A and B are shown apart, each in its own frame.
Chain A
Amino acid sequence: MAQQIYWEDVTEGMELTALVKEPTTQQLVKYAGASGDYYQIHYDKDFAAGNNLDGVILHGALKNAFLGQLMTQWMGPEGMLKKLSCQYRGMDFPGQTITGKGTVTRKYQEQGQNLVDCDIWLENPKGEKTTPGAATVALPSR
């Protein structure tokens, strides 16, 4: 089981543990099956080309899932994810490494909960933030 991070250990400005993902076309097919999203731009190269795309692209919702993993990995088994949002600003392609990153922007207590807000994003190999977002987690206290 992953190590637990406690609210006391968190400081504003600290970086989250990065998450490195290596999506493949096979993963896109698995995700299509698991999610029920069968839009062809995610697995049919010709269909994607007909939509003016350079190839099949990652499901936005799969990138959303990577950001979810970034947060659940960081907050540990006793953390609770309260909010998770992202915008799909740039396309991501299978065969390219995607790195999930984040920083803590605010640490506060509200209604008896120890909360942490984070800016999060996915980066492509050029370092472009294709998928910026934000998250709020509740963490246990020592």
Chain B
Amino acid sequence: MTTQASFLTEEMRQQAIGLEGPPTTTEVEKGAIIKFAQAIGDDNPVFNDEEAARETHYGGIIAPPTFLRSVDSSRPVLPFDFPFNRRLDGGSEWEYFEPIRSGDRITAVARIEDISERTGRLGLMVIMSTVTTYRNQFDQVVATQITTGIAY
């Protein structure tokens, strides 16, 4: 555990905020959707059963709400290293615009929205929020996700 009192300077914050990672594209396979639904223990037919899903207004299998966690995205590369290597996931904030279907090609771009530091129970920690925008092959934004990562 670090004993440092402060790490992040205003200059470092300004360097980091707005940085984007390279876009990454993933083809959504039906098997991957079903495997994800099974892993989270959700037997809803619209995520698992093509025949049953065809009878819904979706007309076929769609991905469960957090499926995009399994889709590749490249984190922006910071121009500095953190002086600690432990990580915690602080939370997630999704907004949904279009359903994700098998066969979709999803392109994810991650951008650093904010970075700050705080001293808490775990000592000095850096808190970074990243917004990832997911677009489909029709260039529609299907979802955005803001994640809060904690390094300590």
Interface of A with B (CB < 8 Å)?
1-2, 21, 23, 27, 30-31, 33-37, 39, 51, 59-62, 64-66, 68-69, 71-73, 77-78, 80-88, 133
* Residues of the A chain whose Cβ atoms lie less than 8 Å from the Cβ of B64: 65, 68-69, 72
Q: Bound complex: CA of A26 vs CA of B5, how far in Å?
A: 40
- Interface segment among B16-24, B88-96, B112-120, B130-138: the answer is B88-96
Q: Which of B32, B46, B87, B88 has the most CB of A within 10 A?
A: B88
Closest CB of chain A to B127's CB: distance in Å? 12
Q: Report whether B96 and A68 are in contact in the complex, using a CB–CB cutoff of 8 Å.
A: no
* Residues of the B chain whose Cβ atoms lie less than 8 Å from the Cβ of A71: 65
Q: Bound complex: CA of A80 vs CA of B89, how far in Å?
A: 26
Q: Bound complex: CA of A27 vs CA of B35, how far in Å?
A: 12
* Residues of the A chain whose Cβ atoms lie less than 8 Å from the Cβ of B87: 39
Closest CB of chain A to B48's CB: distance in Å? 12
Contacts A35-B70, A83-B94, A84-B94: A27 and B41 contacting too (C-beta < 8 A)? Answer: yes
Q: Which of A21, A64, A78 has the most CB of B within 10 A?
A: A64
Which of A1, A30, A68, A85 is in CB contact (< 8 Å) with B52?
Answer: A1
* Residues of the B chain whose Cβ atoms lie less than 8 Å from the Cβ of A35: 36, 39, 69-70
Mostly, the B contact residues are mixed
* Residues of the B chain whose Cβ atoms lie less than 8 Å from the Cβ of A1: 45, 52, 55-56
* Residues of the A chain whose Cβ atoms lie less than 8 Å from the Cβ of B148: 87
Interface residues on B, range: 20 to 34
A61 closest partner in B (C-beta) = B69
Q: Report whether A88 and B88 are in contact in the complex, using a CB–CB cutoff of 8 Å.
A: yes
Q: Report whether A85 and B92 are in contact in the complex, using a CB–CB cutoff of 8 Å.
A: yes
Can you name 15 A-B pairs with beta carbons within 8 Å?
A: A1-B45, A27-B39, A27-B41, A30-B38, A34-B38, A60-B92, A64-B69, A65-B66, A68-B65, A69-B40, A69-B44, A72-B65, A82-B96, A83-B95, A86-B91
Q: Bound complex: CA of A69 vs CA of B47, how far in Å?
A: 11
Contacts A65-B64, A86-B92: A2 and B44 contacting too (C-beta < 8 A)? Answer: yes
Q: Report whether B41 and A34 are in contact in the complex, using a CB–CB cutoff of 8 Å.
A: no
Which of A73, A85, A88 is in CB contact (< 8 Å) with B89?
Answer: A88
Q: Bound complex: CA of A82 vs CA of B144, how far in Å?
A: 11
Closest CB of chain A to B106's CB: distance in Å? 14
